[in-house]
Amino acid sequence: MTFHTPALMVMAIAMMFTTAAIAQDSGESLLTEITEAWLASRHADRSSEAFTHWNEDGEVPGTCAVCHSSIGLREYLQGPMDTVGMIASPVMLGSVVDCATCHSAAAATLTDVPFPSGVHLTLGPGAAVCSVCHQGRASTQAVDAATGVLALDDVSAELGFVNSHYAVAGATQQGSAAHGGYEYPGNTYAGPFTHVAETTSCISCHSPHSLEVDLNSCTACHSGAASPAAIRTSQVDYDGDGDITEGIADPISSLHAQLGTAIARYASEVAAAPVVYAIGAYPYFFNDTNADGAVSDGEAVFPNRYQSWTPRLLRAAYNYQFVAQDGGAFAHNPHYALQLLYDSLADLGEAVPVDITPLTRP
């Protein structure tokens, strides 16, 4: 189904809801409201990189189409889903995350969602279809497969950066059930962040159409919170700064920053090649050619991508990116994010001085 105008799309969706108890008049204004909210959301942004990246190729390859095209997602859900996140053939350009993406019969009844680690999880309505696209493209298993039996601190020309991909909320939320982060051998990790029964699905916090999070829906329980990022219930001082009233987002960003520093130190001292991270530039880790610790002109370009990986560095860098690419990690699974960061710091600390004594692992 391709919609050429919002009006046609609304009519088509209205037909899907004929059995719903929506009286015709209020139904029309509800649909207009929903359509306007969707049109203003990133899911409808036809000009975004997420929907235009393949314009020069003329089609979206089957390896990308599942999450970057309504047509691809619908084909995937109708098929056996036996290759995670992929369909066999390319699809045509130009379809976004439209109404039919989430309201097809297959999407509405979806419960079994395969993740990149190979596990299948049973998810409810308002979470299952979201988690098909917001699950990332890698996992603990992908990092282990890349590093194989190489010695932890040996630079290997065979290694390249393993990218979790973007907006990985569904993987973060499932924690150790999905293995979306790099989970160090021998450690245990937080499972799904079920929060409270009222706010377990994606759409209990996000409007499925505007995608926004309404702070008022949080303050019923988290009274007085000035923003979602200011919410805190944990009573442990994970980052050791003496403050357990700051939002749980704060220790996450503090440990994340410390991990960035530790990665840079390890790269210089053990891999003997300084590294910089550039959030907007693929593949994110580049040679710090002038060793100034910052992204200088001309450094964040593909030919200058970092190529002095050791297994230990790759694991830590994977987790650094995984947390960086989920701006809502503090709400999706704060303790899982803190564990990944803490363990990455501790592991780098086996090779270079990293002071984790002020930190507490959740």
Residue with tokens 């859900």: 77
Of residues 284-303, which lie at the interface with ligand HEC (CB under 6 A)?
none
Task: Name the residue whose CB lies closest to ligand HEC.
Answer: 328
179 contributes a contact to ligand HEC by CB under 6 A: no
| Cα atoms found within 13 Å of the Cα of residue 133, Cβ hemisphere only | 22
175 contributes a contact to ligand HEC by CB under 6 A: no
CB distance 99 to 130 below 8 Å: no
Q: Which of 91, 149, 96, 143 is nearest to 116 (CA)?
A: 143
Selected from 83, 119, 187, 195, the binder of ligand HEC by CB under 6 A is 195
| Measured distance CA(275)–CA(185) in Å, rounded | 26
Compute the chain's Rg from CA coordinates: 22
| Measured distance CA(314)–CA(155) in Å, rounded | 10
Q: Please identify, using beta-carbon distances, which residue of 38 and 266 lies nearer to ligand HEC.
A: 38
Q: Please identify, using beta-carbon distances, which residue of 68 and 315 lies nearer to ligand HEC.
A: 68
199 contributes a contact to ligand HEC by CB under 6 A: yes
Question: How many Å separate Cα 308 from the centre of its chain?
Answer: 26
Q: Please identify, using beta-carbon distances, which residue of 137 and 315 lies nearer to ligand HEC.
A: 137
21 contributes a contact to ligand HEC by CB under 6 A: no
What single-letter amino acid sits at 243?
A: D
127 contributes a contact to ligand HEC by CB under 6 A: yes
Selected from 77, 81, 99, 348, the binder of ligand HEC by CB under 6 A is 99
Q: Which of 105, 110, 106, 104 is nearest to 126 (CA)?
A: 110
Q: Please identify, using beta-carbon distances, which residue of 232 and 312 lies nearer to ligand HEC.
A: 232
Residues in the chain: 362
Q: Please identify, using beta-carbon distances, which residue of 102 and 316 lies nearer to ligand HEC.
A: 102
The Cα-based distances of 26 to 30, 33, 177 in angstroms read 6, 10, 42
The Cα-based distances of 347 to 20, 88, 149, 354 in angstroms read 54, 39, 17, 9
234 contributes a contact to ligand HEC by CB under 6 A: yes
Selected from 233, 242, 272, 357, the binder of ligand HEC by CB under 6 A is 233
| Measured distance CA(192)–CA(185) in Å, rounded | 19
Q: Which of these ranges, 66-74, 138-146, 153-161, 351-359, lies near ligand HEC under the rule CB under 6 A?
A: 66-74
67 contributes a contact to ligand HEC by CB under 6 A: yes
Least Cβ distance, residue 177 to ligand HEC (angstroms)? 12
Selected from 71, 87, 93, 102, the binder of ligand HEC by CB under 6 A is 102
For the record, the structure tokens of 125 come out as 């309505």
Least Cβ distance, residue 325 to ligand HEC (angstroms)? 6
| Measured distance CA(139)–CA(182) in Å, rounded | 6
Of residues 309-348, which lie at the interface with ligand HEC (CB under 6 A)?
326-328, 330-332, 334
CB distance 138 to 116 below 8 Å: yes
Q: Please identify, using beta-carbon distances, which residue of 2 and 289 lies nearer to ligand HEC.
A: 2
Q: Please identify, using beta-carbon distances, which residue of 217 and 307 lies nearer to ligand HEC.
A: 217
265 contributes a contact to ligand HEC by CB under 6 A: no
